[in-house]
């Protein structure tokens, strides 16, 4: 006997245009050439050291990965990070579900962020049609081409839409597979998409979704530049799960593909740099498992474990030097998950307490041109 569930198809969603947003893109956008915010002497020294690590890494062809939380997007740093990608300094981007959702909303309507307190009470938090609809359909269709969550949304932004295949073609492919089953990871994706088309009466063909503000989008530019952008969500964490189209199997598949892409990039961190900016849970948790897999494969090939440089930026003050080991249990720093996880990864770690606008803008200016 299965547990009782709610009927998610009864959720009433509204047009995104009817939502009042906290910020418009023009209020947050940061010009990469704008005057730099002030820095302390310690912040300046740390940022200079990180820039040196990145220059050395790129000179020898090693990866430089940037994992970030949604606040980096909401603080308007998209154009600054795009500059760093275009100059070849950043080779991989990774974020949580909110990081790509806010990025998409800004690209689509130039606005994002709602009043959570008011909307939860009204049963309206996250119940916006376009955000959930287009994200899920982008991921569902992207999986047919072997794309993960991040690349699927990036293609949606770059192409201003997605193409829904004919139902008959999906049915034929599924029927052929059942007659001759084979190892084919795309087959379940076809079944999930067909289910969505039938359940929600979605027509085949090209669905145009214009993104007037795509020049702001990290997700779109990453796709354009062929820089992997991976998304590492939690089921139920993000507003897209309030939508009747929500398909956890599809999101899980996209996130699983992205995790494999992330591990592949981690495997190129020999002499490379991992940047964690405003991501106190996703970045350290995903990184430590990825490091384990990468080292597992390296050891099978007769290689030594990875020892990357790890640069962490967040707002909390932390005066403990994690490179000397973990603090005692009576020290509050002992309970800092960022420091604890990253310090166990075998490489040198540097923590910088600063607003991410200070850290990213200053780092971009330090690096300049060009990392290619």
pLDDT digits (tens, 9 = 90+) for 169-220: 999 999 999 999 999 999 999 999 999 999 999 999 999 999 999 999 999 9
* Predicted pLDDT of residue 371: 62
CA–centroid distance for 17 within its chain: 24
**Confidence grade of residue 340 (pLDDT, cut at 50, 70, 90):** confident
pLDDT tens-digit series, residues 100-133: 999 999 999 999 998 999 999 999 998 999 999 9
The C-alpha atoms of residue 204 and residue 159 are separated, in whole angstroms, by: 17
The C-alpha atoms of residue 284 and residue 339 are separated, in whole angstroms, by: 9
The C-alpha atoms of residue 65 and residue 75 are separated, in whole angstroms, by: 20
Give me the mean pLDDT over the 280-296 stretch. Answer: 94
The C-alpha atoms of residue 183 and residue 276 are separated, in whole angstroms, by: 36
pLDDT tens-digit series, residues 14-59: 999 999 999 999 999 999 999 999 999 999 999 999 999 999 999 9
Q: Is the pLDDT of residue 254 over 90?
A: yes
Tell me the CB-side half-sphere exposure of residue 89, using CA atoms within 13 A: 23
Helix (H) or strand (E) holding 313: strand 309-314
* Predicted pLDDT of residue 192: 96
Give me the mean pLDDT over the 307-314 stretch. Answer: 95
Backbone angles phi, psi at 239, to 5 degrees: -65, -20
Could you give the 3-state DSSP secondary structure of residue 309? strand
Q: Is the pLDDT of residue 160 over 90?
A: yes
Structure tokens at 312: 């962490």
Closest CA to 276 of 76, 71, 25, 33: 71
The C-alpha atoms of residue 123 and residue 172 are separated, in whole angstroms, by: 41
The C-alpha atoms of residue 156 and residue 153 are separated, in whole angstroms, by: 5
Give me the mean pLDDT over the 284-309 stretch. Answer: 96
Could you give the 3-state DSSP secondary structure of residue 92? strand
Rg, Å, the chain Cα set:
21
């Amino acid at each position: 006997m299965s547990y009782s569930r709610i009927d998610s198809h009864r959720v009433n969603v509204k047009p995104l245009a009817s939502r009042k947003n906290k910020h418009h893109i023009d209020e947050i956008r940061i010009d990469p050439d704008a005057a730099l915010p002030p820095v302390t002497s310690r912040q300046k020294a740390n940022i200079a050291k990180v820039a040196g690590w990145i220059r050395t890494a790129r000179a020898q062809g090693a990866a430089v990965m940037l994992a970030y939380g949604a606040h980096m997007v909401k603080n308007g740093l998209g154009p600054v990070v795009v500059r760093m990608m275009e100059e070849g300094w950043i080779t991989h981007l990774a974020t949580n579900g909110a990081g790509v959702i806010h990025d998409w909303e800004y690209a689509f309507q130039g606005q994002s962020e709602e009043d959570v307190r008011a909307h939860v009470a009204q049963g309206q938090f996250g119940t916006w049609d376009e955000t959930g609809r287009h994200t899920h359909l982008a991921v569902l269709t992207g999986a047919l081409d072997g794309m993960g969550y991040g690349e699927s949304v990036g293609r949606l932004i770059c192409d201003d839409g997605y193409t829904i295949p004919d139902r008959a073609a999906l049915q034929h492919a599924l029927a052929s597979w059942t007659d001759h089953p084979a190892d084919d990871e795309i087959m379940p994706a076809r079944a999930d998409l067909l289910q969505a088309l039938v359940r929600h009466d979605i027509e085949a063909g090209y669905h145009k979704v214009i993104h007037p503000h795509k020049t702001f989008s990290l997700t779109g530019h990453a796709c354009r530049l062929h820089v992997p952008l991976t998304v590492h969500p939690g089921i139920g964490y993000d507003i897209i799960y309030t939508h009747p189209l929500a398909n956890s199997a599809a999101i899980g598949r996209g996130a699983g593909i992205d995790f494999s892409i992330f591990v592949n990039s981690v495997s190129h961190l020999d002499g490379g740099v991992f940047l964690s900016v405003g991501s106190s849970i996703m970045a350290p948790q995903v990184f430590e498992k990825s490091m384990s897999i990468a080292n597992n494969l390296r050891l099978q090939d007769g290689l030594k474990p990875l020892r990357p440089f790890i640069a962490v930026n967040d707002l909390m003050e932390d005066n403990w030097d994690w490179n000397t080991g973990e603090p005692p249990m009576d020290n509050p720093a002992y309970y800092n998950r960022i420091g604890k996880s990253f310090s166990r990864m075998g490489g040198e770690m540097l923590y910088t307490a600063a607003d991410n606008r200070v850290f990213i803008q200053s780092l971009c200016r330090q690096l300049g041109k060009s990392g290619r």
